[in-house]
Amino acid sequence: MLSEINIPSPLPSVGCDRLSHRNPIVYWLGVQWFRTKRHVLWLLQKETFAKERAQGPLPYRVHKHSSVLIRKLGDTDPVLQHNKIINLRLATACLHEVIIRPGEVFSFCKLVGKPTRRRGFVKGLQLSRGQAISGIGGGICQIANLIHWLVLHSPLTVVERSQHSYDPFPDEGRIIPFGTGAAIFYNYVDYQFRNDTLDTYQLRFWLTEKTLEGELRCNRDLEHKYHVIEKHHVFVKIGNAFYRSNQIWQYRTVKCRSEVEEEKLITRNFAVVKYQPTDYTELKL
């Protein structure tokens, strides 16, 4: 298993050693620069972005998933998690029943927009520079994570995705593999996928008392089914730091058959762990 680890060189930084991370003014200026750059890019891009809504669901479900709203995340303030639910309700209202037609690109940031107090967003838990902090709109990454998981179970093409380079909390009720999330920070850390098929797809979301629910639907019944598999998961200790590594694969099968027709490596993950895992392998480089 250790032979499958792609150890980057140099190793990911354990601390925040960039000038922008140490100086709030430099950080703010950097954010403004990247946001302006993204706005210019949106103006120049020739892609057609999805924005149309359908009144009611398309006839066929491709995949459905639910994620727990309140989880134990270290010693973080539980109020921030409850606030997250407010933010999720606002974000899902911007995304519910959106249609992605052939050739269109789905952009999380374009559809949800900037989370602000004026729009009703509140302080929730978010990850920034390797730390769990509070921020306006915090927690909406949960719906981006769910969308990515749905897309991985379809023939849709991910064209832009970022993820956190840190694993901040021990697993507590984790259902999907580590490293299948999607980080969001308006507007330059976006999640985008493109519909390169001839079919029309639709995203639908709703909240229950305990969960965020989502489904991907299509205008026809697909002949293939997609499965997401984790391989070569391991915690390693290098020097005084801990890291987490795995691989995420997508398997495609014909419905009602078990034989794998196609398998594709989606991503290799190697992240700094901010806690001490109970089971790990020590490596010397």
Query: b/e for 142-152, b at 16 or more Cβ within 10 A?
Result: bbbbbbbbbbb
Contacts of 11 (CB under 8 A, 6+ apart): 238, 241, 243
Kindly report the length of the chain. 285
Q: Is the pLDDT of residue 18 over 90?
A: no
* 24: amino acid identity, one letter: P
Contacts of 187 (CB under 8 A, 6+ apart): 35, 38, 39, 109, 110, 114
Q: Is the pLDDT of residue 187 over 70?
A: yes
What is the pTM assigned to this prediction? 0.93
How large a percentage of the chain has pLDDT more than 90? Answer: 66
Distance CA 248, CA 250 (A): 7
Q: Is the pLDDT of residue 83 over 60?
A: yes
pLDDT tens sequence across 192-216: 999 999 999 999 999 999 999 999 9
Closest CA to 154 of 59, 48, 266, 67: 266
Count the domains in the chain: 1
164 is in which domain, residue-wise? 2-283
Q: Is the pLDDT of residue 19 over 60?
A: no
pLDDT tens sequence across 160-182: 999 887 888 888 767 889 999 99
